Structure 1
Amino acid sequence: MRLLRATLFSIILAGAPVTTGSTADGNGAWPVRPVRIIVPIGTGSAPDAVARLVGDGLRQRWGQPVVIENRAGADASVGTGAFANANDDHTLLYGFASALTVNPLIQEKVPFDPARDFVSISPVANTVIAVAVHRDLPVYSLADLARVAQDMPGKILWGSGPSLPRFIFAAFLKRRKLEMLYVPYRDVAAPPIDLAEGRIQVLITSLQATIGPVQSGKARVIAITNTRRAATLPDVPIASEAGHPEMSIDGLAGFFGWRGMPTKLRDRISADIAEVLRDPEIRARIEASGQLVLGGTPEEFAAAIEQQRARIAEIAALIDLKDVK
């Protein structure tokens, strides 16, 4: 009987996941099998490129395959929810702070709990959000834009990228009591084309999306919304420098771990990401894609997310996030 019990116990242990003990306190070997990184946006995007760059660096450090899985849809809620419900200690999320701070306010239901399902590991990149104008609009600063909009109420058409860019520009218009007509888009590729052709006069979206019209000389960037200047646009001011703090916000993205991730493992992964981001070539490639390199501790990432949450609350007090016009 004792022999039978011992045999059954051995069978149970053999069938148990090999990572259970290793992630219980963060002291054991990790990873012990391939790591999946869910990215809640499509392939070819700037955030996807960053996830792949950092993922490759982590693969070299960990000695295990790192697989990128793109799960786009619903302003990143689809992929963010897929991660939250994966319940897998070898799956990470390279996601956006806005999915946690904005989506619960504008979507009827999100497939995750923003306060419970995520462990902040490290901020990685900050998408540069640019304010671009058509070349024929006599505007070279945000002050110029406010003046021209005041002189031409309802005559200037504007478009935006989804979520943050749309909200901060609408807040700018509301606070300054300016009237501009918002043009909604379903296809994210269409606004830059319309800006280049003059069908809209103002576009606020990622710097990557404005590169085409700007490089062709059909548009120019007059400001960025981020909290520090972009190395690729050293002469372009940030919104707060230009006297418009209501337009100040960062396109914050980084790595998240699963609910219940051991603190020691979280810190270990964060340190590995920091080492990858010290590589000059990786930093240069991230900046060339229209993003700012961040890096930082889990605590710094969590604090930055909370700052964005507070900023969104200020914007929500000015405009209806569900009905931006």
Structure 2
Amino acid sequence: MNRRSLILGLPLLATPALVQAQPAWPTRPVRVIVPYPPGGGTDVLARAVVEAMRPHLAHPIVVENRAGANGAIGSEVISRADGDGTTLGIVTSTHTLNKYAMGNLTYDPIRDFTPVALMSRQILVMVSGTSQPFDSLAGMLAAARARPGSIAFGQTEAVTRFAGTEFARLAGVQMQDVYYRGGGLLMNDIVAGHLPTGWTSTASAIPHLQSGRVRVLCVSTATRTSLMPDVPTAQEAGVAGYDISGWVGMFGPKSMAPELAARIQAAVATAYADPTLVQRFVTLGLEPDLRPPAAFATFLEADDRRWAEAVAAGRIERSN
């Protein structure tokens, strides 16, 4: 990953005619709601991008954490906000999955929001502490098969729970899931040796690798990632068909005008071209994937179909 390849991959909107046609933004201070606790991968990404946006905006922009209910509490706040661009939200693919994993949402994840920008591909990893009695995915699977149900996995929301349950299903092992309110809390217990394994984002895991107390057992995708080229895929360890990844994206309320969404995405694209942010993506283990509102909307429709098919196949259970 380098600045040139990143910039070439951005669907920038900055033609003079379009910039003149877009409404001014921001006209007042802006809050970006992250519906998860501080310290997790999405929070880290949001704060890095907002920091890079600040020098280019005429008014302050801040991140506000509104955690709870797998992101549903913060997402409801976003859905009910004014569509003037003063309240935005940055969420993960749990946003769409919640419609199928939870039974009582007060909003529709697709209809009640305006897509602003797809921001990042989210590769998940299975982590464990170096104090555990296994040092590889093969070793963990052997231990799980020797003592069914003895090895648990930590998860923080619907997507990481799905990643863990789908892994156990395809691997043919029994693993109990343990819920954590955020990736930072999960990683603390991995480091301390209190939790045998956990599923989290690369952004949550990478800062802990230098401690020497954390291992990454596998990545969730079908191919290895350049962020961790030495880490195998689950498929390489014999878990056939395992291929899961998430995403991070920016939304506004349903009432936001398309022209305003395009203006905000253009401001995000300007931040993505900042060399400091490019380097932070590399350091934090983030894979940028910036797309404009229309492309993000198409992406969301496909993502929604993916989860609907998983429910129909009995691979997702409602949590309440």
Q: Tell me the SS of whatever aligns to 2:291.
A: coil
* 2:318 aligned to which of 314, 317, 322: 322
**2:272/2:278 contact within 8 Å kept:** yes
Q: TM-score w.r.t. structure 1 length?
A: 0.77
* 1:113 aligned to which of 92, 108, 121: 108
AA paired with 1:172? F
AA paired with 1:293? P
The CA deviation string for residues 81-124 of structure 1, in whole angstroms up to 9 with x for no partner, is 11110123123423224343222223332232223211112111
- 1:90-105 matches, within 5 Å, as 90-105=85-100
* CA–CA separation in structure 2 for the residues paired with 1:78 and 1:248: 29
Structure of greater Rg: 1
Residue 12 (structure 1) aligns with: none
* CA–CA separation in structure 2 for the residues paired with 1:323 and 1:80: 18
**2:68/2:181 contact within 8 Å kept:** no
AA paired with 2:292? T
Instruction: Indicate yes or no: 2:55 matched with 1:55.
Output: no
Q: Tell me the SS of whatever aligns to 1:42.
A: coil
Instruction: Indicate yes or no: 2:304 matched with 1:309.
Output: yes
Residue 292 (structure 1) aligns with: 287
AA paired with 2:118? P
Equivalent pairs counted in the alignment come to 299
Residue 220 (structure 1) aligns with: 215
Q: Tell me the SS of whatever aligns to 1:63.
A: coil
Residue 5 (structure 1) aligns with: none
* CA–CA separation in structure 1 for the residues paired with 2:264 and 2:228: 32
The alpha-carbon distance between structure 1 residues 231 and 91, as it changes in their structure 2 partners (threshold 3 A), is farther
- Please list every run of 5 or more consecutive structure 2 residues that lacks an aligned counterpart in the other structure: 1-19
C-alpha displacement of 1:315: 4.0
* CA–CA separation in structure 2 for the residues paired with 1:175 and 1:287: 31
**1:172/1:246 contact within 8 Å kept:** no
Aligned residues: percent identity? 31
Residue 259 (structure 1) aligns with: 254
**1:88/1:258 contact within 8 Å kept:** yes
Residue 22 (structure 1) aligns with: none
C-alpha displacement of 1:309: 2.7
AA paired with 2:114? V
RCO comparison, higher one (Cα < 8 Å, 6+): 2
Q: Tell me the SS of whatever aligns to 2:295.
A: helix
- Please list every run of 5 or more consecutive structure 1 residues that lacks an aligned counterpart in the other structure: 1-24
The CA deviation string for residues 116-155 of structure 1, in whole angstroms up to 9 with x for no partner, is 21111211133442112343444524x5544443344333
Residue 170 (structure 1) aligns with: 165
AA paired with 1:80? S
Q: Tell me the SS of whatever aligns to 2:299.
A: helix
Q: Which deviates more from structure 2 when the two are superposed, residues 25-34 or residues 167-176?
A: 25-34
Q: Tell me the SS of whatever aligns to 1:295.
A: strand
**1:225/1:239 contact within 8 Å kept:** yes
* CA–CA separation in structure 1 for the residues paired with 2:140 and 2:29: 51
Q: Which deviates more from structure 2 when the two are superposed, residues 73-82 or residues 253-262?
A: 253-262
* CA–CA separation in structure 1 for the residues paired with 2:60 and 2:213: 43
C-alpha displacement of 1:170: 0.6
Residue 282 (structure 1) aligns with: 277
* CA–CA separation in structure 1 for the residues paired with 2:96 and 2:281: 24
AA paired with 2:264? I
Q: Tell me the SS of whatever aligns to 1:81.
A: helix
**1:95/1:255 contact within 8 Å kept:** yes
Residue 13 (structure 1) aligns with: none
